[in-house]
Structure 1
Amino acid sequence: MIHAAARIAIGAALAVLLVAGVGANGPGFSSAAFTSQTSNGSSAVGAAVDWTPPTVSIQNPGTGLKDTVSITAAASDAETGIRDVVVQVQAAGATTWTTLCTATASPYRCSWDTRTVPDGSYDLRAIATDNAGYATTSALVRTTVANAFAVLLADPGDVVRGTVPLATTLQNAGTGTYSVRVEYAAAGSGTWRTLCSNLTAPYTCNWNTASFANDYFDLRSVATLNGITMTSAVVADVLVDNVAPSVTMTDPGTPLSGTVTLAASASDAHSGVNRVVIQYTPTGTTAWKDACTVTAPPYSCRFDTTTVADGVYAFRAVATDDAGNSATSTTVSSRTVDNSVISISMEDPGAFLSGTVTLSAAANSSAGVKSIVIQRAQSGTGTWTAVCTITTAPYSCAWDTRTVADGLVDFRAILTDNANKQVTSNTVSGRRVDNTPVRGFDVQTANGGAAPGKVDTGDTMTFTYSEQMNPASIVAGWNGSALPVTLRLRDGNLLGLGNAGDTVDILRSGAAVNLGSVNLKQDYIKTSKTSNFNATLTASTATVNGMPVTVVQVTVGSLLNGGALRTVNTASAMVWSPAAAATDMAGNPCSTAPVTESGALDREF
């Protein structure tokens, strides 16, 4: 059973987030603070004057800080305005923040007497609160305090290639002459070797990475004077990648007309594929033009051939990895674009379909389009049924998927032109109609740790279902009370999802629990790395508009193994793919249809 106390607490919290009215797909939530209300007896609707949190960032004051320095933040809010900005500092990796100042007017600035803290690395952040009560925490800025002597090695970046400049700074070095060198070690090994030696001011050298394995390395600087040696902080997990990705252009066929799919395959074993650019040029020229740039697999896009002149074309793909290495595919030549003939293409409505969806086709005819008929068939049967007939552009219509049984469906379109010529489009096969009543409803994360945008202790991930679930179907024998689990964070390249496809799933005794997985849609861990965190799993019941739903929360604990974590500053919307093995209280399986995080785009964790 789910604890009554947890049920009451979650219900109270969600009552604040309630949006009046429940659609066909389940309850709705909002994080707005209700500031006015109207009622008509049994129902009430609240309206907020400010639905958007403020934006805030903190300026990097540089490294090697000493004496009193100025720390400045920038903040804005377009609706109710900024109430205050709190600037805070903590020792790097610590969990206790100290407030430097609270500023109520721009410029949001305060003074920090660095002599009040020991020399070392520190994190700075700013928290902006608007007049509606929303608060946003900035990304962390790391700096170094060096009121006494310190050795500082500038970070060359997460991924390097070719010749890389390395810069060492001696803070408060005095008048002595130091012997300075830069050392390297295989990441995590602690076995240090000299990379550059006998450096003199300004203590710079070049790292020829071509002579190193394509792998991860740690770097540090060492300064010696009169037999006393000081070392810098370690710059960890720097990936050397001097190998270009592999890329192949897929033959689009010939002749080409209307809207077609251009595709390429690409892979990179080290830093991962950053982007693939698909290009075209008329045969006999080298004036390549970009058809599209794709940053995540599958590396494909739709290309409207009516935007180019009829003729013979060549196609190619250019792949670039995160290190900046690039490769160009073999050219696919002699492909004819001909839009003087009748053509039609069925657009893909998506892999999972529920409720009412839009079906579309792209069509062209020199004689003019008379009508488009969009058809469906149970997948593989070839027994076609008309969904709609369209006579004017755009060639699309709404289809209620609940008029057919759940299962796989094929789609095609038939064009009739004004000369009564008829042509049938490609078939879009195996799209799943899924109107299962039990669904994932939403997925959210919250920062509870020291570093916004980075997975760490105290962060939470919350899964909300559309109905009340049986906890024992998620983990055998579980009743929803606190349960030790493992949160696994994997680089997207390990799963064929690219650099920005890092994925979280939850393990119990080494096996995945039946929550499914979450694609974070950003790069939270370095290439080809996996990190595991201790975590706690809890479930509770929330009642929203009279509907009981299950909320499962994962609270992140300490790092168990791995590391190589990144801090993400780019907003994104996660996608949760639930597991069908999770069932409601009646034993109905959950839909596996992906669930996109609701609300405004934000950084996760």
Structure 2
Amino acid sequence: MSRRPLLVTALLAVMGIALFGIPSMSGATFTSVSANGASSVSAATDWTAPTVTVQSPGTSVKGTVTVVADASDARSGVANVVVQYLAPGGSAWVTICTDTTSPYSCSWNTTAGADGSYDLRAVATDNAGYVTTSDPVSTTVANNLLVVLGDPGDVVKGSVALTASLYNSGALPYTVRIEYAVTGTSTWKTLCTVLTAPYTCTWSTTASGFTQGESYDLRAVATTGLVVSTTSAVVSDVMIDNVAPSVTMTDPGTPLRGTATFAATATDADSGVVQVQLQYQRSGTSTWTTFCTPTVDPYSCRYDTAKLSDGTYAFRATATDAIGNVATSASVTGRVVDNTVASVSVEDPGAYLSGSVTVTATASSTAGIASVRIDRAPAGTTTWTALCTDTTAPYACSWDTTTVADGSYDLRAVMTDSLGRTTTSTTLGARRVDNSPLQAYDVQAVNGGATAGKLDAGDVLRFTFTDQVSPGSISAGWTGSSLPVVVRLRDALLVGSSGNNDTVDVLRSANGTALPLGSVNLKQSFVKNNKQAQFNATMVASTTTVNGTTATVVTITVGTIASGGSLRTAGAASTMVWTPTATVTDLNGRPCSTAPTSERGALDKEF
């Protein structure tokens, strides 16, 4: 019997694993081989990373403590577990020990470092080379008299409970004074004085002397008698926000048929808008129903009105900012939903189109649908050209956009019912066809720093194009070799946006002109409101293969912080969006498309 079918089957199996089952980063070694003459197929015994957690040693520790990690790997087994700590204000994880046998534990001499708040984590490596890092746990090291002020959060409103904790205070009586100062100043004022534990007081952020939208630093000072004993670390950049957002519902028009666009505008000058709820209310009722909740600007969605009973409706929008202030727009009333006779709408294929694009339409008719034709026209004209006519749902066309000139186009759908009557959809305007040879392909961020989800030294940002670019079009005279640059991180409010839309761009020098790599919307919050931070960095260019074509990758490696600060750790995974510029050109001098591209791959916390 020939062994060739077996070899082909094995190859297909390994290819399937390679395409769908391998983790993104691996040091797995091949441990079994089947051979057929000059051909061989190798398969690893373990494609699964280990699991690992670190146990909390307690809310506060001193002296020498044992830190325990739990790790397992059902396939190849755990090779070792590294236990690490991140010191207060630290930028790099420090290894306490490496243990190769279960139970995995370390003796941590806490007296070797400063008192304060520490993070602990464990890094497990299995025998196939896969690595997993645990979520961190926090503890307070207190070997001496220590006062710690609890962090009330980045943004506060109303009455805020502030609590200070005192460690190793002994038998002496202490008084704790909580103080505040406008961020960036050193004029400390007393907020409250607490004579006995628990050291808690209430901060009324609406009281006279506090400014809405202003940021304040907080600290706690412990005294015994008339002597100042110790001062806590400063909790910095706490913004007061008692003001609700501004929100306006956009008129969706009337009558409404098929799938329609609903939108609102919302702004918030302080903590930023985090979500907008779009709602409807049928006339004669008192119930408002949320039908979509966009979280990024523009706050809009497409909604199939056929899901609603025909009738008259009111629409409104409710905006919520980062601290929970809520505002509701005025209602847009008297809008008629009518899908009884016929409705047709063309779905949005995207703001930028290239290559082959599927354009779809939805339609309904009580008389039955004979066909749906989808048309295109240069934007703002009535020169309609049919893309296709479809007689069965789902109604769709494949549009080869390379057959038309780059530019802006309108789309519509025309339904013909079984009686020959036609209904034309609302025009979907200004979809841009852009088949430039050079385009943005992907943007990726890699955590190489101390804290996952926080921009810091060691993190990496990669821009991938669809073709080779001229390095000199990014920075004059650049050849692609290592070049010092500056990474600028700006809060969404500083770039005219709101909510979780912090942006990154690259400067040639501190406070200099931005390089034409464009900007990246991180779709999360990495810096506090109205703040920015700049990092020293290096930029290099290399090549990769994109869809069979040699393409350029620009890699930015983040270094030390150069100015600013007020950094946040992203609270959720997100998909970044990179908007390039036409200043970057390919090797033939052709400009890059300005079409944005979204980060490819699984959701993550970026840096």
Q: Does 1:518 align with 2:513?
A: no
Match of 1:15? none
Identity of aligned residues (%): 58
How far apart are the structure 2 equivalents of 1:463 and 1:600?
Answer: 17
Change over 3 Å in CA distance of 1:58–1:356 after alignment to 2: farther
Trace 1:101-140 onto structure 2 (pairs within 5 A).
101-102=97-98, 110=106, 112-130=108-126, 132-138=128-134, 140=136
How far apart are the structure 1 equivalents of 2:39 and 2:257?
Answer: 55
Gaps of 5+ in 1: 1-18, 21-28
Change over 3 Å in CA distance of 1:164–1:354 after alignment to 2: same
Match of 1:358? 358
CA contact (8 A) 2:91 2:456 kept: no
Change over 3 Å in CA distance of 1:153–1:135 after alignment to 2: same
How far apart are the structure 2 equivalents of 1:126 and 1:315?
Answer: 51
> Post-superposition shift, 1:77?
7.6
Q: Which amino acid aligns with 1:223?
A: A
Match of 1:574? 576
Match of 2:197? 201
Q: Which one is further off, 345-354 or 535-544?
A: 535-544
> Post-superposition shift, 1:241?
0.4
How far apart are the structure 1 equivalents of 2:446 and 2:465?
Answer: 18
Change over 3 Å in CA distance of 1:240–1:108 after alignment to 2: farther
**TM-score, scaled relative to structure 2:** 0.87
Q: Does 1:549 align with 2:539?
A: no
Secondary structure of the 2:602 match is coil
Match of 1:192? 188
Match of 2:597? 595
Match of 1:221? 220
Trace 1:322-471 onto structure 2 (pairs within 5 A).
322-471=322-471
Alignment deviations for residues 165-197 of structure 1 (CA, whole Å, 9 cap, x no partner): 111111111111111110011112122110011
How far apart are the structure 2 equivalents of 1:250 and 1:581?
Answer: 35
> Post-superposition shift, 1:330?
1.0
Selected match of 2:532 from 516, 523, 530: 530
> Post-superposition shift, 1:486?
1.6
Match of 1:7? none
Secondary structure of the 2:402 match is helix
Q: Does 1:166 align with 2:151?
A: no
Alignment deviations for residues 197-254 of structure 1 (CA, whole Å, 9 cap, x no partner): 1432111111111122121111111100141421111111111100000111112222
> Post-superposition shift, 1:87?
2.1
Secondary structure of the 1:493 match is helix
Selected match of 1:178 from 164, 174, 187: 174
Trace 1:286-297 onto structure 2 (pairs within 5 A).
286-297=286-297
How far apart are the structure 2 equivalents of 1:407 and 1:76?
Answer: 56
Q: Which amino acid aligns with 2:152?
A: P
Change over 3 Å in CA distance of 1:303–1:532 after alignment to 2: same
Secondary structure of the 1:528 match is coil
> Post-superposition shift, 1:571?
2.2
Greater relative contact order, per chain length (Cα 8 Å cut-off, separation 6+): 1
How far apart are the structure 2 equivalents of 1:369 and 1:77?
Answer: 58
Match of 1:250? 250
CA contact (8 A) 1:137 1:452 kept: no
Give the aligned length: 579
> Post-superposition shift, 1:413?
0.5
Alignment deviations for residues 514-535 of structure 1 (CA, whole Å, 9 cap, x no partner): 2111111211111121211222
RMSD: 3.1
CA contact (8 A) 2:222 2:230 kept: yes
Q: Which amino acid aligns with 2:414?
A: I
How far apart are the structure 2 equivalents of 1:266 and 1:43?
Answer: 63
How far apart are the structure 1 equivalents of 2:562 and 2:517?
Answer: 21
Secondary structure of the 2:284 match is coil
CA contact (8 A) 2:541 2:552 kept: yes
Alignment deviations for residues 104-148 of structure 1 (CA, whole Å, 9 cap, x no partner): 688866554434544233232332435543334445544320022
Q: Which amino acid aligns with 1:414?
A: V
Change over 3 Å in CA distance of 1:276–1:210 after alignment to 2: same
Q: Does 1:281 align with 2:281?
A: yes
Change over 3 Å in CA distance of 1:438–1:144 after alignment to 2: same
Change over 3 Å in CA distance of 1:139–1:504 after alignment to 2: farther
Change over 3 Å in CA distance of 1:103–1:287 after alignment to 2: farther
CA contact (8 A) 1:139 1:569 kept: no
Change over 3 Å in CA distance of 1:129–1:413 after alignment to 2: farther
CA contact (8 A) 2:321 2:499 kept: no
> Post-superposition shift, 1:281?
1.6
CA contact (8 A) 1:128 1:135 kept: yes
